[in-house]
């Protein structure tokens, strides 16, 4: 049984996104390994450990040891916390950046204690998947170190700037794209951490290429999440004359760009479709108003923020899942849709470009704003007019899903760990022999 120190800045059994990425990993890998989970956030920022503590009261897994890493409870960190919350949505949140950087210093101390007490065989920095904070555990010598899956510097598409406000365009296309790109390429701690890795995993095809181009390293492709289990094993059924059920899930904000789908559906308002919008956000009222003005709101159900069980129920009743995000790694909901054999239509970029293929979904190229909305509307109309295409794509989802099952991820992680530990054991034996 391998003993792994897993760095999870955020983890929870009850939340999605980064929290679920970490939880699914820990839940799966603890079956055959002893995991020391170094964490700092279980729901509401650094210092919130409540959901993990509650889970521990109700569950007993001897192969999981949670190690809480606290930031000092003093005026300096309280001030940083205040400003991190105040500027949560800003491009450069100094308070959060400083708190996260310092948290990793304390996380390193916790890992060093485990290492020097001979309790761990390997360190794995798991999340967050962003590269911007490489932490400090990579600087611990004499033990295998893995990082990832990480997501690199994905540039947002200038062609879709119409989705953003003027201020967001300035932040995205002059600051975010430039800062992320040059940080990933030139930041010294990022460069040292990548160089130190025995294995590094990239969450998207673009990340794999950037690691190769910028850092001369080969990375292993692995989306940050996978499919825990298939909820259905038969293709989606859609017949001519049925209402075509579409689901869109996410925050209703500029980055998720729901407006792309709404404008596309407005072009085919006479077709027999129904859209379920699951999520809430700053643009919720604006998107409702757009639909009212274009007389399509009667064909849309706005669920707002709902529980996970209801989300799964909505996906199960859908014929097509749509992602319109301007930028992210590989959203978890893509794999949730796959678990119900529901095909996904997405823009052809980020992590979605690596998972979706012609057999299991539709990828929309990005050349211009109008081209994207036209292609989305055309693709949906084609599916409505040709029901067999949905059945075919759904069958493709069942086939393609096999490579994204968590069982396959476990096999890869186990192989990586085994090779890394064996390498260090061999080196240690050689050093001892030479002495």
212 pLDDT tier (thresholds 50, 70, 90): very high
Tens-place pLDDT, residues 143-169: 999 999 999 778 888 899 999 988 888
How confident is the model over 310-335, as a mean pLDDT? 94
* pLDDT greater than 70 at residue 91: no
* pLDDT greater than 60 at residue 89: no
What pTM did the predictor assign? 0.89
Mean model confidence pLDDT for the chain: 92
Tens-place pLDDT, residues 344-365: 999 999 999 999 999 999 999 9
Domains annotated for the chain, with CATH where assigned, are 2-226+405-434 (3.40.50.2000), 244-403 (3.40.50.2000)
Between 89-98, 103-112, 242-251, 329-338, the lowest mean confidence (pLDDT) is in 89-98
Say what the pLDDT of residue 373 is. 98
HEC profile of the chain? CEEEEEEEEECCCCCCHHHHHHHHHHHHHCCCEEEEEEEEECCCCCCCCHHHHHHHHHCCCCCEEEEECCCCCCHHHHHHHHHHHHCCCCCCCHHHHHHHHHHHHHHHHHHHHHHHCCCCCEEEEEECCECCCCCCHHHCCCCCEEEEEEECCCCCCHHHHHHCCHHHHHHHHHHHHHHHHHHHHHCHHHHHHHHHCCEEEECCHHHHHHHHHHHCCCCEECCCCCECCCCCCCCCCCCCCCCEEEEEECCCCCCCCHHHHHHHHHCCCCCCEEEEEECCCCCHHHHHHHHHHCCCHHHEEEEECCCHHHHHHHHHCCCEEEECCCCCCCCHHHHHHHHCCCCEEEECCCCHHHHCCCCCEEEECCCCHHHHHHHHHHHHHHHHHCHHHHHHHHHHHHHHHHHHEHHHHHHHHHHHHHHHHHHHHHHHHHHHHHC
Whole-number percent of the chain with pLDDT over 90: 75
How confident is the model over 270-289, as a mean pLDDT? 96
366 pLDDT tier (thresholds 50, 70, 90): very high
Between 62-66, 306-310, 388-392, 429-433, the lowest mean confidence (pLDDT) is in 429-433
Between 93-107, 250-264, 373-387, 412-426, the lowest mean confidence (pLDDT) is in 93-107
16 pLDDT tier (thresholds 50, 70, 90): confident
* pLDDT greater than 70 at residue 238: yes
């Amino acid at each position: 049984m391998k003993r792994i120190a897993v760095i999870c800045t955020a983890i929870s059994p009850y939340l999605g996104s980064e929290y679920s990425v970490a939880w699914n990993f820990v839940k799966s890998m603890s079956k055959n390994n002893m995991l020391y989970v170094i964490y700092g956030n279980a729901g509401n920022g650094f210092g919130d450990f409540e959901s993990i503590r509650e889970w521990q009261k109700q569950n007993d897994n001897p192969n999981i040891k949670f190690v809480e890493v606290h930031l000092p409870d003093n005026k300096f960190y309280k001030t940083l916390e205040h400003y991190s919350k105040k500027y949560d949505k800003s491009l450069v949140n100094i308070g959060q950046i400083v708190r996260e950087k310092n948290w990793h210093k304390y996380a390193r101390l916790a890992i060093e204690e485990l290492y020097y007490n001979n309790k761990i065989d390997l360190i794995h920095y798991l999340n967050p998947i962003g590269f911007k904070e490489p932490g400090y555990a990579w600087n611990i010598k004499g033990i295998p170190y893995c990082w990832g899956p990480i997501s690199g510097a994905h540039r947002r598409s200038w062609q879709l700037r119409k989705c953003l406000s003027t201020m967001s365009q300035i932040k995205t296309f002059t600051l975010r794209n430039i800062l992320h790109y040059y940080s990933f390429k030139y930041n010294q701690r990022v460069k040292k951490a990548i160089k130190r890795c025995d294995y590094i995993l990239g969450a998207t095809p673009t990340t794999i290429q950037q690691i190769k181009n910028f850092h001369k390293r080969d990375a292993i492709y692995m989306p940050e999440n996978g499919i825990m289990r298939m909820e259905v094993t038969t293709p989606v059924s859609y017949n001519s004359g049925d209402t075509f059920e579409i689901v869109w899930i996410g925050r209703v904000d500029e980055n998720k760009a729901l407006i792309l789908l709404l404008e596309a559906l407005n072009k085919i308002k006479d077709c027999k479709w129904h859209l379920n919008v699951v999520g809430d956000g700053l643009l919720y009222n604006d998107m409702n108003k757009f639909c009212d003005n274009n007389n399509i709101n009667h064909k849309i159900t706005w669920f707002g923020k709902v529980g996970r069980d209801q989300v799964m129920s909505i996906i199960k009743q859908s014929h097509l899942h749509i992602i319109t995000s301007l930028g992210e790694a590989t959203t978890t909901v893509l794999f949730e849709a796959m678990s119900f054999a529901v095909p996904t239509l997405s823009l052809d970029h980020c992590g979605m470009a690596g998972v979706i293929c012609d057999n299991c979904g539709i990828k929309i190229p990005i050349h211009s704003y109008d081209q994207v909305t036209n292609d989305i509307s055309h693709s949906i109309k084609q599916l409505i007019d040709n029901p067999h295409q949905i059945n075919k794509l759904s069958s493709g989802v069942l086939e393609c899903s096999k490579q994204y099952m968590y069982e396959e991820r476990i096999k890869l992680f186990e192989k990586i760990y085994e090779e890394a530990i064996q390498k260090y054991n061999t080196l240690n034996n050689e050093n001892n022999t030479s002495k």
